[in-house]
Amino acid sequence: MSAAGLPPRPVLLWHTLRHLPPAQLAWLLRRRLLPRTRPRRIGAATLRTPVHGLRTCPPPLPELPPGQIVFLNRARAFDPAQVDWRAAEMPKLWRYNLHYFDFLHWPCWSAAQKSALIDGWIRANSPAQGDGWEPYPVALRAVNWLKWWFAGTAAPDPAHCASLAAQLDWLARNLEFELRANHLLKNACALIWGGLCLETPRAARWLRSGLTLLLREADEQFLADGGHFERSPMYHALALQDLLEVLALADALGDAAIPAAARARLAAQAGRALRFFATLCGPAQRLPLFNDAAQGIAPAPAELIAYGQRVLGSGALAAGFAHGTGAFELPATGYWGLHTAAQRLVIDCGPVGPDYQPGHAHCDTLSFELDVGGVPVIVDAGVHDYEDSEMRRYVRSTAAHNTLRVDGAEQSEIWGAFRVARRARPCAVEFHCDESGRLRFRGAHDGYQRLPGAVRHQREILVEGDRSWRIDDALEGRGRHRLESFLHFHPAVRLNAGAGGAFHAEAPGGLRLRLVPHGFDECHIERGWHCPEFGRREANAVLIGTASGELPLRCGFGVVRDSTYFQGRSPIRGAFT
């Protein structure tokens, strides 16, 4: 085993690659060994007759200091008249964002400046060279250019249309079959936009290819409950936005844009995905941060849900999905929970993602988020960056989630920035909630069965109305083992140790909670990190209970509203909050 508790790299590679289907492996080898297809000269292209009434969902707008541009909470000097498109010192995801051209929808520059940005990009980025010519940024940039052209009053420069046509033609011959998942969905949507919006001999081919691919990928990527199969609420929101905007474009162009049967299939998928999203986010319309999920990338839940209703109709959230009020089950994706005026509980017990692409997975099986009285109390670590960095390893780790670690091992063998070798698989889920508000969840996973003694982790969560929560963990198997259980508190929550082994928390608004551990040898508070947005981390308090012994082991936490502990005293902020 390595110092990090992982097996040697060849073993990790084997357990990572064995899940890939042969066709994907072949594409992966091809991309590694052979250069991508070169762009072709395809001649002139023009924008179709302007589309009237096109409704799109604009990207989030960051705060921009004068003379700077900001992506992922990292600012860099920026002169629209002289852009350094390489930005070599910035992380790859930052550079990707620079090439997406989301900033065309920001109000900070004039139309002439934005047109000059497009012209500057074309002159500075040689075909098929650099980050800007990788398929994913090509796909996002194509859609952004077209959206902006349709939102404007002046016709685009013919050279700009010709460049975009060349980019789309190149994308059509360099689709991301080696990665698949959300990348391939983006590729398909870009081809549809190009096929519908540009006048060029190859447009019809792009449309056919993109629509065929989108229908196939939507059927595979959106599960029976409407959730996206990568199990990231953020990527679900982005994929839902893609479907909705394709439908909005087709509607704006009229009945002949795409076949009626294809539109009906996409609308049905988008409707299920919208109901899933509204259910998961609940009345508070707050994005859970499970797996690779962060605020500020996709449109805010309230905006996306409202946009979905405009595109699909006001009845799109019918059939009992009224913003997820009350208990909910999303078993295909793997989320269970409760949304009421008094609390928000979301439990994660789903697979890490599709077998062939778990790159956005975290070790968060049996983790949960809890808000009480509209106040976030127990939170997920979120995501900080996509580099192979210390923070990337932290936010993906078991210790960064509200779950249990055994013998220092990860639930799933995360490695690199996006790799997973052996992975935890959930099982034995039971869920019940009665009319009195009493909820019982039970689930387990097999991630630790690779350890000596074939360890199995089972968790039960009990909720009594809006005043009592109990988390009980059981380790079954053989031999002696050490467990650590983690509870991550929102950075605004004050946490300190009390008498008799209890802990006390005070959240904004005067909310007070008492936490009573059971079954542990010792409990203490450490510092953790909460990353609600890319590039932003805030220190928070983490309550850790530890125990060692022969299996079976039982442990957990009781959480109750405490209206007496803080009366007459000033709570002490936890050492790391």
Q: What span, in angstroms and rounded, lies between the C-alpha atoms of 259 and 246?
A: 13
Q: Which residues contact 4 (CB under 8 A, 6 or more apart)?
A: none
Note the pTM of the prediction, 2 decimals. Answer: 0.94
Q: Which of 450, 482, 475 is nearest to 460 (CA)?
A: 475
Query: Any idea what the CATH number is for the domain that residue 471 is in?
Result: 2.70.98.70
- Dihedral (CA of 301, 134, 352, 2) sign: negative
Residue 220: inside a domain: no
How many angstroms separate the first and last alpha carbons of the chain?
A: 35
Residue 59: inside a domain: no
CA 311 to chain centre: 23
- In 243-325 the beta strands, taken as DSSP E runs, fall at none
Residue 321 has a pLDDT of 46
Residue 69: inside a domain: no
Residue 440: inside a domain: yes
Residue 234: inside a domain: no
Tokens matching residue 225 = 């409950």
Residue 310: inside a domain: no
Give the bridge partners for 460, in sequence order.
442, 472
For residue 402, what are the domain limits? Answer: 338-561
The domain tally of the chain equals 1
Residue 471: inside a domain: yes
Residue 231: inside a domain: no
Q: Is the peptide bond before 552 cis (omega within 30 degrees of 0)?
A: yes
For the chain, 577 residues long, give each residue's pLDDT as a single digit of tens.
333 578 899 999 999 999 999 999 999 999 989 888 888 878 889 898 767 778 899 888 888 888 999 999 999 999 999 999 999 999 999 999 999 999 999 998 999 999 999 999 999 999 999 999 999 999 999 999 999 999 887 789 999 999 999 999 999 999 999 999 999 999 999 999 999 999 999 999 999 999 999 999 999 999 999 999 999 999 999 999 999 999 999 999 987 789 999 999 999 999 999 999 999 999 889 999 999 999 999 999 999 999 999 999 988 887 644 444 589 999 999 999 999 989 999 999 999 999 999 999 999 999 999 999 999 999 999 999 999 999 999 999 999 999 999 999 999 999 999 999 999 999 989 999 988 778 999 999 999 999 999 999 999 999 998 889 999 999 999 999 999 999 999 999 999 999 889 999 999 999 999 999 999 999 999 999 999 999 999 999 999 999 999 999 999 999 999 754 434 333 333 332 2
| Half-sphere exposure of residue 348: CA atoms within 13 angstroms, side-chain side | 26
